Amino acid sequence: FNDVIMRHLLSEGFVENELKKRPPGAGADYADLLAQLLTNETVGLGLRTMVCRHILDMVGSQVHEEEEEKFEKAVRQLVPALVKVMSGSNHILMSYATASLVNLSCGRKNMKQLLVSHGVLSLCVKQLKVKHDELTLYTLYLLVNLTKTPHHRFIVVKEGGVP
């Protein structure tokens, strides 16, 4: 496995196009591959960072109504990987994962609930204790997105997010 070659194949869209040619149910799809690359500790930091940026672009783009179901399926595969990265120790990767979740949760109630069910609010409270400016900024953005309902605000208070 060569990180540099995989980085080029992903950035040029080759892997995504090849996986789209496969019939549904014929093995892993693109979102699953991205999730595997992101959570695999043997994959280099450069490739994992590129995957985070790619996910950030992917979830930040507008989705047409006819593609919404496919988008939600992909996101449901990516959320656990992004949450795992958020609970890691690399602040840059944590920042990218958090920024991806900010884009993902913006204006999507069902995605906000999915993130809360994966324990993202407690991870956000932990991330606020880390002294990293970019991570703190994106964590605050995510908290703004996720604490629109009283129940979600209660969870943040219960986790110690507000003294």
Q: Is the dihedral of CA 32, 112, 107, 72 positive or negative?
A: positive
Reported pTM: 0.85
Q: What is the pLDDT of residues 2-35, one digit of tens each?
A: 888 898 888 888 888 888 887 766 667 888 889 9
At residue 61, the pLDDT reads: 63
Question: Any alpha helices (H) in the chain, and if so which ranges?
Answer: 3-11, 14-21, 30-39, 45-60, 68-86, 91-105, 109-117, 120-128, 133-146, 150-158
